[in-house]
Amino acid sequence: MTITNNEYPIAALNDFLKVPEEKIDACLADFKQWLGLARQSAVITSMLESFSGVPGGTALFRNSFIWIDDGTPGIRAIQITDEHDKEVVRIAVTTD
């Protein structure tokens, strides 16, 4: 997984302290959207396992997320990584 200057990995509550104070509202808004997606993860996991043909081979929403300070509200992409956190694919998310 590649981290750039505008990416903030959040794996523990104190990681939110690394987000600049003037950007925390945007980060928390995106985190709220991520929580909604995480709550729906069972449906998404089932779809991905059907697609991949590997039951139990998909783990969504591990114990962290990466907030990307892109200046755009909301989640624009979901990154799928392998067991070594190497990016496999990044899927664009649209609200239309």
Q: What are the pLDDT digits (tens) for 7-39?
A: 898 989 999 999 999 999 999 999 998 888 777
Residue 28's pLDDT is 95
Comparing C-alpha atoms, which of 31, 40, 82, 72 is closest to residue 92? 72
For residue 1, pLDDT beyond 50: no
Q: Give the β-pairing of 77-81 and 87-92.
A: antiparallel
Looking at per-residue pLDDT, the higher value among 41 and 61 belongs to 41
